[in-house]
Structure 1
Amino acid sequence: MSEKVQAKPNALWENVKVIVQALILAMVIRTVLFQPFTIPSGSMMPTLLVGDYIFVNKFAYGFSKYSLPFSPDLFHGRIFAGAPQRGDVVVFRFPPNPSIDYIKRVVGLPGDHIQVTDGVLYINGKPVPKVPDGSFTSDYAQDPGQDVPVFRETLDDGKTYDTLDQSPNSRGDNTREFIVPEGHYFMMGDNRDNSLDSRFDVGMVPAENLVGRASIIFFSLGNDTSFKEIWKWPANMRWDRLFKVVE
């Protein structure tokens, strides 16, 4: 004689509740606290590499409609707003097309005068110190960057980071003076000769477009390895970048 074991209705309902609660918790974490992003281009080399997976702290600057999934037009501006600091690496929505995420470094705050002259960044008429700091070679096929000169910049507040300067005569090495409007920010990529940023079509970034501050690299695959190619992970994992704080 065989017996069929059937789950009690109460047990099924408990399982459903657990799944729903887990989904709600995941949504809250993604909306309010941290959101994962992957780096698809070399504009932030050497700080961030193609194949880096990062967590972005969405609580750092408060919340706008772009903090929510699908960006519903529920309110304007920011709530619980916090201001980025100069030197922060920030994910934001591309002003001409807010459906696209960009990641750059904040170099200009509201009211600042920003200019690049002969490859040197000037903030309010003062050059940001730029000293040689070795060379960089990328493992990204579309941007190989063999032995690209690295320069370390140091801001007035002591924030320091590396930048790349592949060519002394790129179109972004000499710009007009930009004045950052109130409620906006001026962004630049650390890969100075290969970054579409506020010097070009990005323009000034409204505070509302900020998504969050890049906080930590939690995973990283080199050599153009797809996340789906699990069998390639051991050979292409950048072990030294795991859980590295973004500076």
Structure 2
Amino acid sequence: MSKTKNELFSWIKSIIIAFGIVMLVKTFLFAPYIVKGSSMEPTLHNHEKILVNKLGAITDGLSRGDIVIIKDTKEDTNYVKRIIGFPGERIEMKEDKLYVNKEQVDESYLTANRNKAEELGVNLTGDIGPIIVPENHYYVMGDNRLNSMDSRNGLGFIHKDYIIGESEFVFYPLSKIRDIK
């Protein structure tokens, strides 16, 4: 009887430890998120599941062009957007070209959307700025600029505390597994 009790206690202890480790990893390192909507197409699609690295956001290890998850406390929802501008930078859009601190930035991830916009005879992004990103904030935009609520039109500047993490890769559906860095 004592051996059975020890085995049961050992199993319970192992399960509690494993649960604690999973909670720590999910809270501080990695977490899954579901893409909702079309604002990041064709890079990310509606209902795809992505793995998010939370450590980069905590340590300020973010780079221009990173795709991040943003917490919206007003609507208790999350947004997936691309970092365009960092604190103190001068952001400007002219004739569908992004300029940061007066230097043009290559946005090759927009090629498919630019082609679609040209077919429709419209610009992807209206002219913006110049604007200066405030301290402790970021400027973000979706890849599907024709259909994205972002810093231009509703989200405004994003405070660094509202960036949950950086997306690493799509893990579902299984047929679409890919790295998105």
TM over 0.5: yes
Checking the alignment, whether the CA contact within 8 Å between 1:217 and 1:246 is kept in structure 2 is yes
Name the aligned partner's letter for residue 162 of structure 1.
Answer: L
Q: Secondary structure at the match of 1:101?
A: strand
Alpha-carbon RMSD across the aligned residues, in angstroms, is 2.3
1:181 to 134, 137, 141: 134
Checking the alignment, whether the CA contact within 8 Å between 2:57 and 2:165 is kept in structure 1 is yes
Q: Does 1:216 align with 2:169?
A: yes
Aligned ranges for residues 82-97 of structure 1 at < 5 Å?
A: 82-94=60-72, 97=74
State the match for 1:246 in structure 2.
180
Q: Secondary structure at the match of 1:185?
A: strand
What whole-Å deviation, never above 9, does each CA across 1:96-130 have from its counterpart, x for those lacking one?
6273211111010111111223332222233334x
Pairs aligned (count): 175
Name the aligned partner's letter for residue 161 of structure 1.
Answer: Y
Spell out structure 1 runs of 4+ moving beyond 3 A.
Answer: 126-129, 165-172
Aligned ranges for residues 183-202 of structure 1 at < 5 Å?
A: 183-202=136-155
Gaps of 5+ in 2: none
Q: Give the whole-Å Cα distance in 2 for the aligned partners of 1:162 and 1:245.
A: 17
State the match for 1:162 in structure 2.
110
Checking the alignment, whether the CA contact within 8 Å between 2:66 and 2:166 is kept in structure 1 is yes
Checking the alignment, whether the CA contact within 8 Å between 2:96 and 2:124 is kept in structure 1 is no
Name the aligned partner's letter for residue 109 of structure 2.
Answer: Y
Residue 23 of structure 1: how far off its partner (Å): 1.1
Checking the alignment, whether the CA contact within 8 Å between 2:92 and 2:99 is kept in structure 1 is yes
Name the aligned partner's letter for residue 31 of structure 2.
Answer: Q
Q: Give the whole-Å Cα distance in 1 for the aligned partners of 2:179 and 2:124.
A: 31
**Which of structures 1 and 2 has the bigger CA Rg?**
1
State the match for 1:33 in structure 2.
29
Q: Secondary structure at the match of 1:60?
A: helix
Checking the alignment, whether the CA contact within 8 Å between 1:119 and 1:168 is kept in structure 2 is no
Checking the alignment, whether the CA contact within 8 Å between 1:86 and 1:108 is kept in structure 2 is yes
Checking the alignment, whether the CA contact within 8 Å between 2:124 and 2:145 is kept in structure 1 is no
Name the aligned partner's letter for residue 184 of structure 1.
Answer: H
Q: Secondary structure at the match of 1:202?
A: coil
Name the aligned partner's letter for residue 70 of structure 2.
Answer: F
Relative to the length of structure 2, the TM-score reads 0.85
State the match for 2:100 in structure 1.
123
Q: Secondary structure at the match of 1:54?
A: strand
Gaps of 5+ in 1: 63-80, 130-152, 154-159, 221-236
Identical aligned pairs, as a percentage? 32
Structure whose residues are more often helix by fraction: 2
Seen in structure 2, the aligned counterparts of structure 1 residues 38 and 85 have a Cα distance that, compared at 3 Å, is same
Q: Secondary structure at the match of 1:176?
A: strand
Seen in structure 2, the aligned counterparts of structure 1 residues 98 and 31 have a Cα distance that, compared at 3 Å, is farther
